[in-house]
Chain A
Amino acid sequence: MRAPKTTIQRKLVLAIMLTSTTALVLTGAVLIAREASSLRQLVEREVTTRAGILAANSTAALAFRNPDDAIQVLAALRTDPSVIAAALYDESGQLFATYPSNVAPSVLPRAFGGVGHRIEDANLVIRQQVLEGTRLLGTLYIRTDLRELDERVRMHALVVLCAVLGSIGVAYVLSIWLQRKIAGPVRALATAAKAVSEGKDYSIRADAVSDDELGLLAESFNDMLAEIEKRDGALRASEGRLRQLNAELEERVAARTAELESSNRELEAFSYSVSHDLRAPLRSIDGFSKALLEDCGDALGEVGARHLDRVRNAARQMGLLIDDLLGLARLSRAEMRRERVDLGLLAREIVASLSQAQPDRKVELVVTGNPTTEGDPPLLRVVLDNLIRNAWKFTSKHPTARIEVGQTGDNGSRTYFVADDGAGFDMAHASMLFAPFQRLHRQSDFEGTGVGLATVQRIIQRHGGRLWAESAVESGAKFYFTMWEARS
């Protein structure tokens, strides 16, 4: 778990401070603006009121041309040091009296103009009519310095600023205290979650200290942990059971395999010894039949000799049968190599040796498609030997024969075949073809033991392939096989 970039404490403090500072600053600004505005209004009202009183008091002085009295009336302004200058103008607009009485003339307008009040160079200037009843007797001019007002506004702003800064300080202290109340449980929860995820220990529990949503969260978290802990326990238990079952199953498989292997070995030993032990009586039968024929041929007569010949043929047939059975048994035990084998070359060698044995047969061998494969060379020789011998045998009734060895298909799924144009067989009996000792032809028509194709089947199976045949009576047979299908 990575460390968080910003802590929730900092965010909380930031949020609280941002909110309170904004509120404080805005409030302070409003207060200052309000104070400045109301102070100015107050001063303006004060000055206007004073001007009204002065104007009312100076009517008679203007009416009866008494500048001394007018000066006395204006002298009342002494009480307010912020008044810079004041003046009375008579009804014709001429200067009548001034305050202070010795004021520099440049400070005052020489002639009166306009009424009302306005700000001039940070001074508040008031011009007011002097009326007795409805009669205009003159005008009053008062110039007041607003620096004091500005100073008061500044002072007020300073006080507000100090209050705002103090409040921000208090808010900061409060936010530190508050964030502890909120962030404490969150941090405890995060620590618990981290401990759980790092240690995979679901027995850890978060402390639910607060009674708010965070407490609820911690409670839910604890409930979740309890649930996980329960499921974890159940999972471990079922895993253990499964492992135990597996172990038992493997034990049983091993036991069965051992049983099978031992019975297989016994069977092989039995068939080997049977085959081997059968040879001795056969040799005796053949040997003594031959000796009987040679030594007592005359006494047996022609019929006897013929019977003995049949005995001898039967014995030889049985010998061949035993040889084949031994070969089949050996197949199961022989070690397999895997080498590149040229099936075409092998086929030529086999046909050459067959032609040598029977030079009067006219058999043509055709090799198509450069059939090469990988496998155990002696075993593949047995396969081809059996298939070509079969072809050779079942074409023997025809004057000429054609045997074809080849391959079809591409690298992904190669199929090899051995085809002939001989006697063929009925596809209805195809299922019996590869079972040992099953023959589709009478012994008198074609010799054989019925073991050959069973042997071929066994070898092809050991090479991870399949073997099948297509044929029809008197239109030849075609045997197909594949290699290494199961593994590729």
Chain B
Amino acid sequence: MPILTRSVVHPSRRFWGRLVLASVLTAIVLSPATAGSESARAGRTHEYDLKAVFLFQFAHFVTWPARSFRDETTPITIGVLGEDPFGAALDEVVAGESVGTRRLDVRRYQLAEQVGACHILFISASEADHLPAVLAGLRGRNVLTVGDTKDFATRGGIVGFGVDRNRVKLRVNLAAADSAQLTISSKLLRQAEVVRKGAKR
């Protein structure tokens, strides 16, 4: 098991909590023992904790067009559409965080029509059935759509989460990102598998 003691001194007190959380999550996700024999429920929870962190990290590696923000201090909004699988994890991750001058904001939507000014939108598995309609509704808006349903990216979403050998994998649909006028950092792309719409895995 990885050792959880740390000796780093960091200026932000609040950061500690998230560090502990992140370490625990990393340790669990990277540990073969975790995925092998732990209960499925616990595995799912930890998986979504990590995905919450990834959602937050996208804010750093994606550039939105300036018109998607009202001004310099308009927060980056992370939205969750449908049934929320994160629990309190997402709120904990973004609490007090900021990207440059922008704070981070979490919103939850039950219906696609409710989605307003939003920059990162996690489309829950509960919306899988009418995903094309949801995506169509978002066309022309600068929203980074993220989902973990099967073939999310090839079906027109921008970033899809997958799990491979106990790791969360990223798939990116660059054409979809282009049409949403989003610039994804090449660093992020290095971590991801680039896919095209309609491609079969």
Contacts and interface: CB of A to CB of B under 8 A. Distances in A.
Contact of A111 (B6, B19, B50): B6
A136 B100 CA distance: 13
Contacts of A66: 191
A66 B54 CA distance: 12
Interface string B80-108: 00000000000000000101100000000
A91 B7 contact: no
A480 to B, nearest CB: 132
A432 to B, nearest CB: 143
A470 to B, nearest CB: 135
Given A93-B7, A111-B6, A135-B60, A59 B187 contact: yes
A155 to B, nearest CB: 40
Contacts of A60: 61, 185, 187-188, 190-191
Contacts of B170: 64
A65 interface: yes
Contacts of B61: 60, 63, 132
A136 B6 CA distance: 15
Contacts of B20: 92
Given A60-B61, A111-B6, A133-B100, A92 B23 contact: yes
A93 B8 CA distance: 6
B191 A136 contact: no
A26 to B, nearest CB: 47
Given A132-B61, A133-B100, A91 B188 contact: no
Nearest to A89: B8
Contacts of A64: 54, 57, 168, 170, 188, 191-192
Interface string B45-68: 000001000100100110000000
Contacts of B57: 63-64
Interface in A286-342: none
Contacts of B10: 136
A94 interface: yes
B117 interface: no
A90 B8 CA distance: 11
A57 B187 CA distance: 7
Interface size class, chain A: 20 to 34
B97 to A, nearest CB: 8
A59 to B, nearest CB: 6
Given A92-B23, A132-B61, A133-B100, A65 B7 contact: no
Given A92-B20, A111-B7, A63 B2 contact: no
A311 to B, nearest CB: 170
Contact of A92 (B22, B97, B168, B192): B22
B60 A91 contact: no
A439 B23 CA distance: 164
B177 interface: no
Interface in B177-199: 185, 187-188, 190-192
Contacts of A69: 190-191
Nearest to B61: A60
Interface in B12-31: 15, 19-20, 22-23, 26-27, 29-30
Interface of A: 57, 59-61, 63-66, 69, 90-94, 110-113, 132-136, 139
15 contacts: A57-B187, A60-B185, A60-B188, A61-B191, A64-B191, A65-B29, A69-B190, A92-B4, A92-B6, A92-B19, A92-B23, A94-B2, A94-B23, A94-B27, A132-B60
